[in-house]
Amino acid sequence: MQLQLLDDRLEIHLTGWERLWAFHFSTPITIPLSHITQASTEPPASSWKELRAPGSFLPGVIKAGTYYTPRGREFWYVTRSTDYLTLELTVEPFQRIVLNVDRSVPWADRINHQRARLQS
């Protein structure tokens, strides 16, 4: 997975295998920064009350794809890594996007800084 922070948007580029596991074949996922309310590195809450449609799930190995939760529609691509990047969204097809990315703290800082810069 590759993230690309542009002037007013974040692009998430999934590899071929990641697209297959997540059943998400249109790439990249493009999110306007004005639609992100918060980027954090906290481990996201997850429960058994989530409906996967479509996607992949193997406990302790992978959670990938679209999930319908009490919070709304979410996109997940996480594996055994604990390096989370969680994006809370306002106006998107997803209410939340949860990813495993290398160096998630600098990514969250960059996204939050760019959001703040655009809002001022």
Read off the pLDDT of residues 76-102 as tens digits, 9 standing for 90 and up.
999 988 899 999 999 778 999 999 999
What count of other Cβ atoms lies within 10 Å of the Cβ of residue 65? 19
- Domain ranges, ordered by start, for the chain: 2-119
Read off the pLDDT of residues 7-52 as tens digits, 9 standing for 90 and up.
899 999 999 999 999 998 887 999 999 999 999 999 888 877 788 8
Average pLDDT over residues 54-64: 91
What is the C-alpha radius of gyration for the chain, rounded to an integer number of angstroms?
Answer: 14
Q: Say if residue 28 is exposed, middle or buried (CB neighbours under 10 Å; 0-12, 13-18, 19+).
A: middle
Q: How confident is the model at residue 109 (pLDDT cuts 50, 70, 90)?
A: very high
| CA angle at 54 for the pair 79 and 48, rounded to the nearest 5° | 65
2-119: CATH topology: PH-domain like (2.30.29)
pLDDT at 119: 84
pLDDT at 56: 92
